[in-house]
Amino acid sequence: MRMEAEVGSKSLCTISRAGLSVPALKYDEGAASALADLRRVLLNTADDADESDLLAAIAGVRDAWRHSPAHRLAQSNEEWNAYATGGEDALSSLLDAASW
């Protein structure tokens, strides 16, 4: 009952970290794209990189993602909003998990 009170009729598959309902497929596509961007950055990271270097790389990709064209388009389009939110959520989740 508590979950139903929290999310109402929204599908759990489409709830962002901010609690917004977004189209699930575009959200997942944004997450995959952001993680692919991070992968490209990490492949070019020095082999002797330490944890702080990796966290800085994740934060850098997240900051770039926040200033991407997708984020600018997100203001006016539900699909772009889902895409941008999925990417930012994926990178923020990594930072949260690594910061424990």
Could you report the per-residue pLDDT of 66-77, keeping only the tens digit for each? 888 877 777 788
pLDDT tens per residue, range 84-93: 889 999 999 9
Place of tokens 């961007």: 37
pLDDT digits 0-9 by tens, 1-31: 455 565 566 555 566 666 666 777 888 899 9
In this structure, which amino acid lies at residue 96? D
Q: Are 83 and 74 in contact (CB under 8 A)?
A: yes
pLDDT surpasses 70 at 99: no
Three state DSSP letters for the chain = CHHHHHHCCCCHHHECCCCCECCHHHHHHHHHHHHHHHHHHHHCCCCCCCHHHHHHHHHHHHHHHHCCHHHHHHCCCHHHHHHHHHHHHHHHHHHHHHCC
Distance CA 30, CA 27 (A): 5
Q: Is 85 within 8 Å of 69 (Cβ atoms)?
A: no
What percentage of the chain carries pLDDT values higher than 70?
77
